[in-house]
Amino acid sequence: MNYTESVIYWFSNQQLKMKKNNTVKATFLLILICKLLCGFDALAQQEEDAALVFVSTNIFVNQKKLVRENHFEIKINNRKGEKYTSVNIPFSNLSKIGKIEAFIKDADGIIIKKLKKSDIVTKSAIEKYSFYEDNFIQSFRLKHNVYPYTLVYSYQTIEKEFIHIASWIPLLDTDVPTKKALLKIVTPVDYQIRFMQTHLNEPLIETTADQITYQWEGNYDQQVKSQVFAPPVFDFLPQVNVVPLWFEFDKSGSLESWKSFGSWQNAIMNGLDIIPDSELLKIQDVLKEANSRSDTIKLLYHYLQDNTRYINISIETGGLKPYPASYVAHNKYGDCKALTNYFRAVLKSANIPSYYSKVYASNRIHDIDHNFPAQQFNHIILYLPGENESFWLDCTSDRAFDYLGTFTQNRDALIIDDTGSWFVRTPKLANNEVLESRTAEILTANLPATIKMEQSLRGYMYELVFDLDVNYTGSEKKRMLNKYLLPKGFEISDYEIHRTHRDAREIFFHYTASASELISQYGNDIIIQNVPFDLPKIETPAERTFPIQLDYPINKTDTLHYMLSDACQLKNPISFELNSIFGTYSYTLSMIDEHHLIVTKKILIHSNRYPLSDYEAFHSFYTAVVEQENKNIHLTKTN
Amino acid sequence: MRLFFIILFCLSSASSFTQEFNTSFGRIGQKEVDLQQYEHDEDAEAVVLFDIGKSHFIKNEGSIDVVFERKTRIKILAESGLEYAEIEIPYYIDGSQKELVYDLEASTYNIEDGKLHTTTFDEKNTYDETINNNWMVKKFAIPNVRSGSIIEYAYKISSPFKFNLHDWEFQWKIPVVYSEYIVNTIPFYEYTWLLQGSSNFDIQESYTAKTLPRHFGSIEYKDIVNRYVKKNIPAFDNTEFISSVNDYIIKLDFQLSKVNYPSGHSIEIMTTWEKMIEELLKHSDFGKYINKSAKAASKLIEDNEILNKSDQEKFDFAIDYVKKNFSWDKRYRKYATDSPKKMIEAKYGSSADINLFTIGFLNTLGIEAYPLLISTRDHGKIKYDYPFAHFFNYVIILARVDDQLILSDATEPLSLNKRIPTRCINDKGLIIQEEKVSWIKLETTLPSSIKTSLVLDFSEDEVNVLNSTTLTEYDALNFRKNYSDNTVLISEKIKENGYTLIDSTINVTNTFEVNKPLIVAYQHTLKQEIVSNKLFVKPFLNEIIDENPFKQKTRTYPIDFTYPQKRTYQSYFEIPEGYELTYIPEDVIINNDLFGLIFQVKNEGKSITVFFDYVFKQSTYQVADYSKIKFYFN
């Protein structure tokens, strides 16, 4: 189990291949990929290549032991479905795995092949963002050559220490239907559990003299696929989550309330905040120049940023228990838990109280279910409330002081304290905090046209350019910038990236580029392609199935100044404006004189949530903007 | 005993100017501390100050082990260079025999309060990752590292596997100031070596160790010290459009060539291609596997009718049978993993399992077929002057059908039986047949083509388009692999171009009939702009790639397109009612050995046909042609 696994307990027993949300430092490439493939990783198939015909999980749990029996029957209908004949069974040092059995049935139900023990291979299973985890997989492949056939396999896991009983999503993949799924949990009569399910019915509960049986049944055929400006796909999948009311995981604890969960989290961190004397001396040295509380916090945060790095090493209960502050003080590295715990101790030594705070970090906001106290988080940040000023610090981040960013803004954080725990909403990115403004001078005297672009970027683009700037160098950096950050058809020649100071929540990315197709001339007619805002393609109302969720505002402005070598006259309409409940858009063309054309445009889309029924209206507003953005500018020569 | 040198490079006399840094482990000089930016590469995120390796032999309970020692020092110059402080050391295990990583040490040096501060690494913070049954990785993160830190680490690996002496890469993705590799050889094992990516060393010397003699049994000997040094090696620039990093990175490769037993007799491990072929033919996982496959395959033939058919039919029968019944597990292999019986049972196998089996199958049907040993594109080029088996990683099929030689790979069901997949197109392959050394070119000269034909119909502010695209050869294979007949995926691709697809108009022809060209047809609309009563027509809409993939001004490695490519675009439309033609661009024709291009507009009455065609006539272009290729792409 691991903090940084987004879907933490939900997916821990599944072999679902979905994109996971990483912690802030590890997300960069993922974002780029999403940006590139936006809407292109289509999942729906015309005919089903494979189906999960039957999946069942039987769980026997008591105070001391948790036994899970998993059984899968996967029907393979053709060669394309064959990828599901490769089976990976996850386990860790905290769970014992056994009784792995597998066989193949032909179309008539006759068993034609069985798995041999010697064909099972054990491998490490370490997430891309991690350096090391003591997670492993048992992997094997069993296939046949006459379709259809059914792969049946089962295995058992046993855990002694656990904080969740089931995090059950009965899916093979989001594009594979599940015909029938069963979850059965058997407990002693005096053993209490808590559960919640989504997109599934309430369980059947049977009580006998010595045990209680809970049973859920479901299926899946929607083939859910990610959509733009929508909640995460994960929120639309059938799932059951079950936790023990009382548990033993490092220390004993209870999931009766958020308060009790917080107390347990606090208890397992007890004594981990000791900082060695040598480190204390350095901290005192840093604080020589501090004059105020905010000064102190900022200086120490800079010290943290300059001296530590993010490395995730997760073993044993490492998913929930941080490495001690002394470990970070010596090694100067750690994951989000370790770095946050260390920094909390550093602040404490300067008499500044702060709180270890659990959040669900992701590019799309996934809401915490308040009615279900459990480990629903994947990231740790630090909260410093104050009478005049409060701060939120991401201890894994190299970005500006007190900047949370798109991954953790505007969501519930569970604040951990020895007197209990409570939720605080992290601050949300305001319109002016996500402003992306571009000013360009475009020279058209020689072809290809030359563009001198000056940009000041905040919000998501600040994060993206910052990460690119820090993580890449030389020709590779230039290539990445060109590929991901320049409008289509632009070829970069020079660039400059800078910030006014290290805590500025804004980055300047200036460049010069050429674009061969920007301007075309046909006799006396000159056609100029607009430089459109970078806006993702969205689904048509017919394709749309999810409600609208805009997690932060979209706020962009452009001033594009074209220098024309020939005297010209404008043929297009001069201005265009749109106003709707979703936002505003404006576009203006003006000729200063016959050689100077200026295009100014602005878009603001509010951060909000709307039901699916509003999608048609949203789509028509958004499409009108995109159409205007893609309109060419038509000039004619006057002489 | 000296090393058996295949080639001798001239010793470099003029060693280029070097920033001199201390090369002794654990001792940091002021120059290393002061270094802020590497003078030869100001973008470098880190620089390897020294990287020193040594391989030597030690006695271990009556047998001999080879020990590889390494010590490396790196200066971190930027945040992005921190990744070089995360160390991974792969080691090999084969049953009870295994390599052992030991004597691990690491330190970080930082300047704190003007003083050099050392942080040492605790060996218990190392982790072993299991990659598979044969490979493990020892991992550790060096502590207290930040931009400006100097890190150094050292380790030893002892190995019972003497076949491959540890290779040495002089070049990293960051610049290297000083790189040295010492190989101490003993009389019992002889190695050949090969330097790639460079023509000389800064220092190369061999001498007898100035130590007391060593003994093995009754034999007395001294180590021969072979020392190779290179200085100021630039960072390896991983450019796009090269076949493999393995081909270009500067490295020294060692291969066991001869074993001299203390009893006096010797075994030549590898001297010639002839010997290698002979051994492969005798090998249980190669030649003998083919023979066993032939027997096993004869039992699979249910209807003996096939034996009376033509060669071509027999060939297709065998290849089709294997493609239909066995799938490739994506492993690149030259030796079979298990018996043919096991493969038939499992229904899947590596490239060697499947292709060697198919060769047996073909032989059973009376078709002359041989294994063709190759190196895949990502594995690098073969050096024909050096008979090293490790140059190869894959095996394909060479068959003689109606007196024609055909290359085939049964791991790729969507490919034509007489074609090999692009991963295999890499220079030449070696035919494994008795008493003969011959090589066959894998390159294809046949261009793969994409022909897009558009019929445009203008109405109001929209254009209705009928698109029919025909793909052949590798272009068709790529489409079959990526999209198959999946209209959802295809429609996503169409929408990427900014088109509005008309529902259920996608029609894919010949998806699974791989002998025929693949045709994708669909209808879509596109907004059309009429400004001040003028209609500007982009005849090919958004079909043509408008970005030059070659962004660099110059290039140091050849460009490799894999196969020759031809693109044809044709657009037909009628001048809408009430419009007249006012502007037509001029025709263009380019034709030379490298490249051909035609752009033509035909106007007959109301109808207009625009034709555009270009072809990259070669699959690879030399560095000298780069600027021309870059220009054509514009």
Chain B 460-499, CB below 8 Å of chain A: which residues? 484-489, 492-493, 495-496, 498
Distance CA B120, CA B53 (A): 21
Instruction: Check residue A39 and give its pLDDT.
Output: 31
Query: In angstroms, rounded to a whole number, what is the distance separating the alpha carbons of residues B561 and B629?
Result: 11
Q: What is the pLDDT of residues B116-164, one digit of tens each?
A: 999 999 988 899 998 888 889 999 999 999 999 999 999 999 998 877 7
* Residue of chain B whose Cα is closest to the Cα of A536: B496
* Domain(s) of CATH 3.10.620.30: residues in chain B: 273-441
Are A99 and A235 within one domain? yes
pLDDT per position as a tens digit, A445-475: 877 899 999 999 999 999 999 999 998 888 8
Show Cβ contacts of residue A620 under 8 Å, excluding neighbours closer than 6 positions: none
pLDDT in tens, B501-551: 888 899 999 988 988 999 999 999 988 777 667 787 888 888 876 445 555
Binary contact (B532, A42; C-beta < 8 A) = no
> Is the pLDDT assigned to residue B580 strictly greater than 80?
yes
Q: A542 and A618 share a domain? A: yes
What residues in B contact A630, CB-CB < 8 Å? Answer: 498, 527
Pairing type for strands B97-98 and B86-94 reads antiparallel
Q: Name A102's bridge partners.
A: A153
Are A482 and A495 contacting, i.e. CB atoms less than 8 angstroms apart? Answer: no
Q: pLDDT digits over A176-225, tens only?
A: 999 999 999 999 999 999 999 999 999 999 999 999 999 999 999 878 88
For A93-237, list the strands marked E by DSSP: 95-105, 111-114, 121-124, 132-133, 135-141, 149-159, 166-168, 178-188, 193-198, 204-207, 211-220
> Does A27 fall in a domain?
no
In this predicted structure, the answer to whether residue A35 has a pLDDT above a threshold of 60 is no
Q: Give the pLDDT band (50/70/90) at residue B108.
A: very high
Specify if A23 maps to a domain.
no
Tokens of B436: 């003969």
Residue A153 has pLDDT above 90, yes or no: yes
Residue B260 to residue B519: CA distance in whole angstroms:
63
| Mean pLDDT taken over chain A | 88
CB contacts < 8 A (A, B): 137
Return mean pLDDT, chain B: 86
Q: B493, A309: Cβ pair inside 8 Å?
A: no
Distance from CA of A59 to the nearest CA of B (A): 30
Token pair in block for residue B291: 């023979």
Instruction: Report the alpha-carbon distance of residue B462 to residue B541 in Å, rounded.
Output: 12
DSSP letter at B397 equals E
Q: Is A432 contained in some domain?
A: no
More confident residue, A102 or B262: A102
Return the residue in A174, A285, A286, A309 with the most chain B beta carbons within 10 A, the one to mutate for interface testing.
Answer: A309
Using only C-alpha atoms, what is the Rg of chain B?
30
CATH class of segment(s) B43-268: mainly beta
A611 has a chain B CB within 8 A of its CB: no
Q: Report the percent of chain B where pLDDT is more than 70.
A: 91
Q: Which of residues 286-305 of B touch A (CB under 8 A)?
A: none
Q: What are phi and psi of A66, to 5 degrees?
A: -125, 120
CA A354/CA A344 separation, integer angstroms: 6
Q: Which residue has the higher pLDDT, A248 or B60?
A: A248
Task: Report the top-level CATH class of B273-441.
Answer: alpha beta
Burial category of B337 from C-beta neighbours within 10 Å (exposed 0-12, middle 13-18, buried 19 and up): middle
Q: What's the pLDDT score for residue A41?
A: 34
Per DSSP, the three-state class of B481 is: helix
Bigger pLDDT: A71 vs A27: A71
Mean pLDDT within B261-273: 78
> What pLDDT score does A316 carry?
66
A196: three-class secondary structure by DSSP:
strand
Provide the terminal-to-terminal Cα distance of chain B, rounded to the nearest Å: 59
Spatial strand order of the sheet with A111-114 comes to A111-114, A95-105, A149-159, A66-76, A50-61, A178-188, A211-220, A204-207
Question: In this structure, are residues A363 and A21 in contact, taking their beta carbons and an 8 Å threshold?
Answer: yes
pLDDT of residue A552: 97
What do you get for the CA distance between the two ends of chain A, in Å? 73
pLDDT of residue A433: 97
Query: Quick check: A145 and B130 CB within 8 A?
Result: no
Residues A357 and A315 in one domain: yes
What is the CB neighbour count within 10 angstroms for residue A253? Answer: 21
For residue B619, pLDDT over 70 is answered with yes
CA–CA separation, B553 vs A491, rounded Å? Answer: 12
Q: What is the largest CA-CA distance in chain B?
A: 105
From B23's Cα to the closest Cα of chain A, the distance in A is: 25
Q: Which domain holds residue A268?
A: 260-425
Interface residue B532 vs chain A (CB under 8 A): yes
Chain B segment 66-95 residues within 8 A of A by beta carbon are 78-80, 82, 86
Rounded mean pLDDT, B109-121: 90
CATH number of the domain that residue A354 is part of = 3.10.620.30
If one compares B202 and B634, the residue with the highest pLDDT of the two is B202
**Same-domain check for residues A215 and A264:** no
Rounded to whole angstroms, the Cα distance separating A193 from A372 reads: 11
* Residue B377: strand, helix, or coil: helix
| CB contact at 8 A, A215 and A183 | yes
pLDDT of residue B158: 94
Interval B271-307: pLDDT, tens: 688 888 998 999 999 999 999 999 999 998 887 888 8
Q: A611 and A467 in one domain?
A: yes
B413 with A79: Cβ contact below 8 A? yes
The mean per-residue pLDDT over the stretch B441-446 comes to 88
Q: What pLDDT shows up at residue A317?
A: 64
Q: Which of residues 388-447 of B touch A (CB under 8 A)?
A: 413
The four Cα atoms B86, B92, B93, B94 give a dihedral, to 10 degrees, of 160
Question: What is the tens place of the pLDDT at every residue in A234-276?
Answer: 999 999 999 999 999 889 999 999 999 999 999 999 999 999 9
Q: Is the predicted pLDDT of residue A38 greater than 60, yes or no?
A: no
Q: Where is average pLDDT lowest: A21-35, A468-482, A546-560, B339-353? A: A21-35
Contact flag A333-B143 (C-beta cutoff 8 Å): yes
pLDDT for position B243? 56
Specify whether the CB–CB gap between B448 and B475 falls below 8 A: yes
With contact defined as beta carbons under 8 Å apart, do B188 and B259 qualify?
Answer: yes
Distance from CA of A272 to the nearest CA of B (A): 18
Which residue among A82, A333, A525 sits closest to B327, beta carbon to beta carbon?
A82
CB neighbours of B355 closer than 8 A, spacing ≥ 6? B371, B395, B396, B397, B409, B410, B411
Shared domain for A100 and A129, answered yes or no, is yes
Whether residue A259 lies within 8 A of chain B, CB to CB, comes out as no
Q: For the segment B406-419, what is each residue's pLDDT rounded down to a tens digit? A: 999 999 999 999 99
Residue A573, preceding peptide bond in cis (omega within 30° of 0) = no
From B80, B139, B529, residue closest to A131, measured CB to CB = B139
Same domain, A340 and A270: yes
* Residue A202 to residue A219: CA distance in whole angstroms: 14
Q: What's the Cα-to-Cα distance from B317 to each of B309, B417, B472, rounded to whole Å?
A: 10, 10, 23
- What are the percentages of helix, strand and coil residues in chain B, rounded to 5? 20, 40, 40
For the segment A585-595, the average pLDDT, to the nearest whole number, is 94
Residue contact B548–A522, C-beta within 8 A: no
A542 touches chain B (CB under 8 A): no
Give the pLDDT confidence of A46-60 residue by residue, as tens digits.
468 999 999 999 999
Q: What is the per-residue pLDDT for A55? A: 96
Share of chain A above pLDDT 70, in %: 92
**B264 burial type by CB count under 10 A (0-12 exposed, 13-18 middle, 19+ buried):** exposed
- Measure the CA dihedral A91/A92/A96/A98, to 10°: 30
State percent of chain A over pLDDT 90: 72
Q: Please tell me the distance from the alpha carbon of residue A128 to that of residue A121, in angstroms, as a whole number.
A: 21
CB contact under 8 A, B146 and A632: no
Flag whether A240 is in a domain: yes
CB contact under 8 A, A571 and B485: no
Q: Where in chain B is the domain with CATH 2.60.40.3140?
A: 43-268
* pLDDT confidence of residue B551: 53
Distance from C-alpha of A49 to C-alpha of B80, rounded to nearest angstrom: 43
Long-range contacts of B489-498 (CB under 8 A, 24+ apart): B489/A42, B490/B520, B490/B522, B492/A39, B492/A40, B492/A42, B493/A40, B494/B522, B494/B524, B495/A39, B495/A537, B496/A40, B496/A537, B497/B541, B497/B542, B497/B543, B498/A630, B498/B526, B498/B542
Retrieve residue B237's tokens.
């620039």
Question: What are the residues whose beta carbons fall under 8 Å from the beta carbon of B188, sequence distance 6 or more?
Answer: B57, B64, B216, B259, B260, B261, B262
Which tops the pLDDT comparison, B576 or B533?
Answer: B576
Alpha carbon of A637: minimum distance to chain B alpha carbons (Å): 14
In a shared domain, residues A284 and A198: no
Q: In this structure, are A414 and A461 located in the same domain?
A: no
Residues A299 and A216 in one domain: no
Q: Which residues in chain B have their CB less than 8 angstroms from residue A537's CB?
A: 495-496
Q: Is residue A24 part of a domain?
A: no
Q: Is residue A356 less than 8 Å (CB to CB) from chain B?
A: no
For residues A295, A298, A299, A304, the Cα torsion angle rounded to the nearest 10 degrees is 160
What's residue A257's pLDDT? 94
Q: Is the peptide bond before A448 cis (omega within 30 degrees of 0)?
A: yes
> What is the rounded average pLDDT of the residues A302-327?
88
Mean pLDDT value across residues A397-426:
94
| Nearest CB neighbour to A473, from listed B43, B125, B324 | B43
Interchain CB distance below 8 Å, B492 and A39: yes
Q: Say if residue A83 is in the same domain as residue A146.
A: yes
Whether A126 sits inside 8 A of B129 (CB atoms) is yes
Residue reference for tokens 């752009």: B599
Interface of A with B in 479-508 (CB under 8 A): 479, 482, 488-489, 491-492
Residue A444 sits in a domain whose CATH number is 2.60.120.1130
Rounded Cα gap, residues A280 and A329, in angstroms: 10
Q: What size, in residues, is chain B?
A: 634
pLDDT exceeds cutoff 70 at A425 = yes
Q: Which residue has the higher pLDDT, A141 or B267?
A: A141
Q: Closest Cα to residue A511, out of A439, A453, A428?
A: A453
Query: Is A132 in Cβ contact with B129 (below 8 Å)?
Result: yes
Q: Which of A397, A425, A453 is the last residue of a domain?
A: A425
Cβ burial, residue A226 (10 Å; 0-12/13-18/19+) = buried
Chain B residues close to A342, C-beta within 8 Å: none
Q: What is the DSSP string of A371-383?
A: TS-S----EEEEE
Q: Chain A window 563-582: which residues touch B at a Cβ cutoff of 8 Å?
A: 571-572
Cα separation, A22 vs A5, in Å, equals 7
Do the Cβ atoms of B80 and A131 come within 8 Å?
A: no
Nearest Cα residue in chain B from A138: B132
**Cα–Cα dist A538/A546, whole Å:** 12
DSSP character at residue B256? E
Does residue A562 surpass a pLDDT of 70? yes
The predicted-structure confidence for A479-532, as pLDDT tens digits, reads as follows: 889 989 999 889 999 999 999 999 999 999 999 999 988 888 877 888 898 999
Of B141, B329, B489, the CB nearest to A131: B141
Please state the domain count of chain A. Answer: 3
**A410 and A455 part of one domain:** no
Angle at the Cα of B370 (from B366 to B376), degrees rounded to 5? 145
State residue A23's pLDDT score.
Answer: 31
Residue A616 located in a structural domain: yes
- Name the 3-class secondary structure at B199: coil
Contact call for A113 and B345, based on CB within 8 A: yes
CATH number at residue A142: 2.60.40.3140
B527 shares contact with chain A (CB less than 8 Å): yes
